[in-house]
Chain A
């Protein structure tokens, strides 16, 4: 592979393994499709109002959902919201929520975990007990309550998810940092007169963050499902906002297989999205985690 020519042998071998691993290939293919859909959303489903592209267009005001047709290939929900449009633009919403929440929680988790693990003692005790308090509250209930307090809206959901999903990362990293700080290269770095911040960022984190990255990859999918769940419950995206959970909530009043398309397409989008991230996470772990060989 020409691309990896200037990397060292080991990295090259792992990269090759990654791109020949069937799990990884499937995961990356799915992800590529999603990225393309999100990127090409304005082409696939041109918005009526380019200023507010996330508003799902309505094709009428009929109560009963309408099956797929030439005009609306995924059909419409009750109130005639275009499902295809919602699924396509919902991809963007999913990426926004997933990346933003995972980025922020990873940042918080890494900061808390590395400080606790590096300084140990009282600092560690305090930070880990705070983490325990956050962990003792059931995740979904905590997020629902916080969103309710903050008010309806996707931004509120994002804040609530960030507030209650950084603990696993903090714990994972703390353990790794505790182990890494005993390595001789850390003492060597101290003997060179580097300050603690530099030692943590430049010497310890590069040796400890890999499991965190794998975990973060897997969390993206899960978080999107939780956010959709909140939208479904009416806590997340507003009424006509393009979001997978939101569009499914329109089928709450309709039972039976007759209106399968109102659930099937948004759900398919969600399932494959979660699958893509989990496959990628699995593949990364298989290849890079030395403990799994």
Chain B
């Protein structure tokens, strides 16, 4: 496996300091809880990862596993009753959680920006595309409206919006989904951010547009050397774009590895399940694999490993103790008792990964 070319990793390895100045964003032990009337929901429960400069980190998981909340926590955009209760978010050496709201505003949309899933709802229906995009430059760079217009039109054409001068004066609802998402991306890139958080940016689009947007994001990364955190539930999308992947389940990271390593040698039963769910052109099965059961609800107290209720290999220890992320191969961590040292040899499926190629 030529793992060496994928030089970034998704999770923090203790004692590794030599590449530190290469790290743009480091999230350590992040806990985000929602204090609802019915009790506390641990949406993000002890998450560690880092993003290197100019690289893409993919965060994969089912709905409700805490992916989007992680992104919102980084930008501190959580609304009541959500709150980051513990952890560190270091961005360019600065602790974001200790900044004032004003300092945070200077970062949002400027050095860290975010792209949302549905551009139709994320763009204001009563403002023109031009008004909304220019606003970023007026606020962050104090540009004159005239200069901002030039910059916005330039950025729109860079992200492949056709007839940018015309689009500048149009409203969201007259644009196609692809153009809307390109406009969103243009808005996020106007200040040339160091970090781009992409929260399922292709989910609301059809497949051909999806491919174009992914292509665009790759080009952006090459041009601007922007780091990207790409959040998705779609492993097919992440395989194309990410250098490195963390898999989340019920607010925790269950596995993290460089992209090729993860696809070739998934260690956590959940990751294996997700990969098996993908349709394959070369497979003979006529029915797709499904992971039985559902993600535990926010108020379900699951003891031990959160995945044990759905895991085919669950043993008694899985129900009793929470597995920690441990190194299972170079640059590759998984949180699973079955693959862990305690039981010596791993389960049969784990030692012969089902998706290994050739």
The answer to whether the Cβ of B135 comes within 8 Å of any Cβ in the partner chain is: yes
CB neighbours (8 Å) of A183 from chain B are: 121
A38 to B237, CA, bound (A): 67
A185 to B180, CA, bound (A): 13
Which partner residue on chain B sits nearest A205 by CB separation? B126
Which partner residue on chain A sits nearest B109 by CB separation? A192
Q: A121-B80, A185-B121, A194-B135 are in contact. Are A202 and B116 (CB under 8 A)?
A: no
Query: How far, in Å, is A210 (CB) from chain B's closest CB?
Result: 10
Query: How far, in Å, is A24 (CB) from chain B's closest CB?
Result: 22
A280 to B171, CA, bound (A): 27
Q: Do the beta carbons of B121 and A192 come within 8 Å of each other? A: no
User: Which candidate, B100-108, B214-222, B324-332, is the interface stretch facing chain A?
Assistant: B100-108
Q: A120-B80, A184-B118, A198-B139 are in contact. Are A191 and B124 (CB under 8 A)?
A: no
The answer to whether the Cβ of A190 comes within 8 Å of any Cβ in the partner chain is: yes
The answer to whether the Cβ of B277 comes within 8 Å of any Cβ in the partner chain is: no
Q: Do the beta carbons of B108 and A193 come within 8 Å of each other? A: yes
Which partner residue on chain B sits nearest A188 by CB separation? B122
Query: How far, in Å, is B113 (CB) from chain A's closest CB?
Result: 7
Which partner residue on chain A sits nearest B104 by CB separation? A193
Number of B residues near A (Cβ < 8 Å) is 28
The answer to whether the Cβ of B8 comes within 8 Å of any Cβ in the partner chain is: no
Query: How far, in Å, is B119 (CB) from chain A's closest CB?
Result: 9
Q: A191-B109, A192-B113 are in contact. Are A207 and B77 (CB under 8 A)?
A: no
Q: A191-B114, A193-B105, A194-B105 are in contact. Are A185 and B123 (CB under 8 A)?
A: yes
Q: Do the beta carbons of A184 and B187 come within 8 Å of each other? A: no
- Cβ 8 A contact of B174, one of A8, A198, A203: A8
Q: A192-B187, A193-B110 are in contact. Are A202 and B125 (CB under 8 A)?
A: no
Q: Do the beta carbons of A184 and B121 come within 8 Å of each other? A: yes
A184 to B199, CA, bound (A): 13
Which partner residue on chain A sits nearest B118 by CB separation? A184
Q: Do the beta carbons of A187 and B113 come within 8 Å of each other? A: no
Q: A184-B116, A198-B139 are in contact. Are A191 and B80 (CB under 8 A)?
A: no
Contacts between the two chains (Cβ within 8 Å), count: 66
Query: How far, in Å, is A254 (CB) from chain B's closest CB?
Result: 55
Q: Do the beta carbons of A190 and B107 come within 8 Å of each other? A: no
Query: How far, in Å, is B211 (CB) from chain A's closest CB?
Result: 24
The answer to whether the Cβ of B136 comes within 8 Å of any Cβ in the partner chain is: yes
CB neighbours (8 Å) of A184 from chain B are: 116, 118, 121-122
CB neighbours (8 Å) of A194 from chain B are: 105, 109, 135, 139
Q: A191-B113, A192-B136 are in contact. Are A185 and B124 (CB under 8 A)?
A: yes
- Cβ 8 A contact of B135, one of A8, A121, A187, A192: A192
A120 to B109, CA, bound (A): 25
A275 to B77, CA, bound (A): 48
User: What sequence of 0s and 1s flags, for each residue 291-307 of chain B, a beta carbon within 8 Å of any chain A beta carbon?
Assistant: 00000000000000000
A195 to B106, CA, bound (A): 10
Query: How far, in Å, is A178 (CB) from chain B's closest CB?
Result: 12
User: What sequence of 0s and 1s flags, for each residue 192-214 of chain A, a beta carbon within 8 Å of any chain B beta carbon?
Assistant: 11110010001100110000000
Query: How far, in Å, is B69 (CB) from chain A's closest CB?
Result: 13
Chain B residues with a Cβ under 8 A of chain A? 75, 77, 80, 105-110, 113-114, 116, 118, 121-127, 135-136, 139-140, 170-171, 174, 187
The 6 closest A-B pairs by CB, nearest first: A192-B109, A193-B108, A193-B109, A184-B121, A188-B122, A206-B126
Pull 17 A–B residue pairs with CB atoms less than 8 Å apart, ordered by A. Answer: A8-B171, A183-B121, A184-B118, A184-B122, A188-B116, A188-B123, A188-B124, A191-B113, A192-B135, A192-B139, A193-B105, A193-B107, A194-B109, A195-B105, A202-B135, A206-B127, A207-B125
